[in-house]
Amino acid sequence: MLAGKPTSFRSLPRKAGCAVTVSEGYFRDIGVPDDFAGAQQEIPGLLHRHALFLDRDGVVNVDHGYVGSRDRFEWMPGSLEAIREATEAGWHVFIVTNQSGVARGHYDEAAVVALHDWVSDAARRAGGTIDDIRYLPVP
């Protein structure tokens, strides 16, 4: 109710300046003691997930040396399938990589970010999810 009048969630933002998001995700109300107690038992089990950390060059892609663009990126055989299978098993998937090509001026960080966005999109098209890709531009 808003000012004594029935209100639906969808009309609330217009009437009260609030934002409402409808999603299919998990939600657990903890506003009453019984719900809070239930959440204490339920939520820890939901937060436990295995994680797969993959080095990029030589594991995810063939290491051609200074791979900073799509035209130099070649998937290692089985790497997309491994990412998909880990995703299907409920695992987080992370890629980590040193990028000396940035430190040595072969390409810039924007190129690495664009390549990693493409890699994540390709994994998604293959049925996998890469949760995050981190790089360190060291020489």
**Which residues are known catalytic residues?**
55, 57
Determine the Cα–Cα distance for residues 83 and 88; give it in Å rounded to an integer.
9
User: Six-digit token pair at 29?
Assistant: 């109300």
- Give CA–CA dist 86/88, Å, rounded: 5
Strand partners of residue 95: 54, 133
Residue 62 CB neighbours (<10 A): 15
